[in-house]
Amino acid sequence: MARAQKYLNYIGGRWVPAKGGKTFPNVNPADKKELIGLFPESGPEDVDRAVEAAEGAFPEWRLIPPPRRGEIILEAGLLLKEHKEELARLMTREMGKVLRETRGDVQEAIDMALYAAGEGRRLFGQTTTSELQNKFAMSIRMPVGVSGLITPWNFPMAIPSWKIFPALVCGNTLVFKPAEDTPLSALKFVEILEKAGLPKGVLNLVHGGPSTGEAIVRHPRIRLISFTGSCEVGRLVGEHCGKTLKRCSLEMGGKNAQIVMKDADLDLALEGAVWGAFGTTGQRCTATSRIFVQEGIFSKFKREFIARSRRIKIGGGLKKGIEMGPLINEVQRERVHDYVEIGKKEGAKLEIGGRFARWKGLERGFFYEPTIFTGVNPKMRIAQEEIFGPVTCLVSFKRFEDALRMVNDVSYGLSSSLYSRDVNSAMNAIRDIEAGITYVNGPTIGAEVHLPFGGVKNTGNGHREAGETALDIFSEWKSVFIDYSGKLQKAQIDVD
């Protein structure tokens, strides 16, 4: 480790070590012997420095016209496009998902750059009538100020882009803490913005673990927290922000379901189930962890779903033909395996998987086999709690109403999916499923940057990322009244 490359924080436009001098290792989850680098273990003093830099940059950045801010974001998007392949390969080494998926991760950041850059020439408010004569009324967006952004490891560029680009175009300055499992992807993202011409101090990067994130959340001069991660941590973030009246956006977990009706295109539904359950090794908040299949086709669907899942090629994500990479680390693999054991004890039938994948070539990585349970009672923990791994439950149902009830009978509400050729079923699913996202004849995973992303119940606190709704997180509304009557006019006061 002494010979490993050491990386730095980015504060006030300078690359600097943590004040305490401590570092943490970053390893390849497909080969834990490969040390990618050492990163600063930042403390409260480093967060203080980052906040000070962001505060110093805010007065000037907020006055830069939004179209100019958008031009910098556009340039960042073009640089991401230019370096897409090298960034994707780095991300596969660091996070583990297969190359075609990390290319998609970078592409999502490119898409968000293009979208957010366009908002630089929009940032629309409203003009409206006044109840009084010779008076003009309108609303405009204003920046919030110094914002703290805390992002997860499963989408090391896409999710930061959902936060950073809208926050910048709205005129905020930022303190950014990425997950400790994917710090190099975040560092490269910041380098791209630096090269694109972002002024010093506008974006500050502090690496570290939970204590670093806590220092950001608790910092009295950070006005806004945008957090993506687990429900357990999100509750703590929301609790503190509530006590201090700090603006807070939480995007957390999911227990997403796919419904397959008898009239569905079965091959299409199977493709969607395999991709939804095992894409990104199940490490998506939108992963398909429950699949409800109507009686009459359940046996056929089960047989083919198991057969297709057995054929998934597991291995290092840079290798040609590999379809599923490792879990992110040993802790997560143990967590997934613990849930498998819980499912077996609850009485569910383990059809395939349920084991560490340790055959030749996989011994040094955190690999886990695609895992399918049947005989699942919807009240079992494996059908209620987020596992965040390649584990899914197959459940049969008789009536459409039964499927809807079981889909909604969880504490989360992020994504959902219905496979059916019946427009009436589709419209009822759209209306009745308690989720922020509903797909018809598509899997539960996948997002487009110009639409809102987020969910209901324990999935979040009501905010949405991406799309125009992201601007509502990162801007304050101001109402403006211009009275050109030349006299005092009293709104809502009767005139004698």
Which tens digit of pLDDT belongs to each residue from 270-292? 999 999 999 999 999 999 999 99
Whether the Cβ atoms of residue 356 and residue 368 lie closer than 8 Å to each other: yes
pLDDT for the residue 398: 97
DSSP string, 101-140: HHHHHHHHHHHHHHHHHHHTT----EEE--SSTTEEEEEE
CA angle 277, 102, 414 (to 5 degrees): 40
User: From start to end of 245-325, where are the E strands?
Assistant: 247-251, 256-260, 288-294
With a pLDDT cut of 70, the percent of the chain lying above it is 99
- For residue 437, list its beta bridge partners: 415
User: From start to end of 207-287, where are the E strands?
Assistant: 224-228, 247-251, 256-260
pLDDT in tens, 292-334: 999 999 999 999 999 999 999 999 999 999 999 999 999 999 9
Q: Which amino acid is at 203?
A: L
CA atoms of 477 and 464, how far apart (whole Å): 17
With a pLDDT cut of 90, the percent of the chain lying above it is 97
- pTM, to two decimals: 0.96
pLDDT for the residue 496: 59
pLDDT for the residue 492: 85
Q: Give me 390's structure tokens.
A: 């390649």
Read off the DSSP letter of residue 282.
G
48, with CB counted inside 10 A (0-12, 13-18, 19+), is middle
Whether the Cβ atoms of residue 166 and residue 470 lie closer than 8 Å to each other: yes
Identify which of 255, 109, 247 has the alpha carbon closest to the alpha carbon of residue 190: 109
What's the whole-number average pLDDT of the chain?
A: 96
In angstroms, the first-to-last Cα distance of the chain is: 83
pLDDT in tens, 386-444: 999 999 999 999 999 999 999 999 999 999 999 999 999 999 999 999 999 999 999 99
Active-site positions? Answer: 251, 285
Whether the Cβ atoms of residue 292 and residue 259 lie closer than 8 Å to each other: yes
Mean pLDDT of 105-116: 98
CA atoms of 257 and 297, how far apart (whole Å): 17
pLDDT for the residue 360: 85
pLDDT for the residue 495: 64
Q: Which amino acid is at 347?
A: G
Domains in the chain, CATH or no CATH each: 9-252+460-479 (3.40.605.10), 256-440 (3.40.309.10)
Whether the Cβ atoms of residue 442 and residue 256 lie closer than 8 Å to each other: no
Q: How many angstroms from the chain centroid is the CA of residue 324? A: 20
Mean pLDDT of 455-476: 94
Strand order through the sheet with 146-150: 14-16, 9-11, 203-205, 173-177, 146-150, 224-228, 247-251
Q: Give me 366's structure tokens.
A: 């955190």
pLDDT for the residue 18: 97
- 463-472: long-range contacts (C-beta < 8 A, 24 or more apart)? 463/249, 463/250, 463/251, 464/436, 465/159, 465/162, 465/163, 465/226, 465/228, 465/249, 465/251, 466/112, 466/162, 468/119, 470/162, 470/163, 470/166, 471/119, 471/123, 471/141, 471/166, 471/169, 471/170
CA atoms of 351 and 376, how far apart (whole Å): 11
pLDDT for the residue 307: 98
Whether the Cβ atoms of residue 108 and residue 43 lie closer than 8 Å to each other: no
Whether the Cβ atoms of residue 229 and residue 152 lie closer than 8 Å to each other: yes
Read off the DSSP letter of residue 313.
P
Whether the Cβ atoms of residue 256 and residue 444 lie closer than 8 Å to each other: yes
Residue with tokens 């596969």: 92
Mean pLDDT of 252-281: 97
Whether the Cβ atoms of residue 373 and residue 350 lie closer than 8 Å to each other: yes
CA atoms of 278 and 87, how far apart (whole Å): 23
Residue 2 has pLDDT above 60, yes or no: no
Mean pLDDT of 263-272: 98
Q: Give me 287's structure tokens.
A: 């992963």
Pairing status of strand 31-40 against strand 23-28: antiparallel
pLDDT in tens, 4-21: 899 999 999 999 999 999
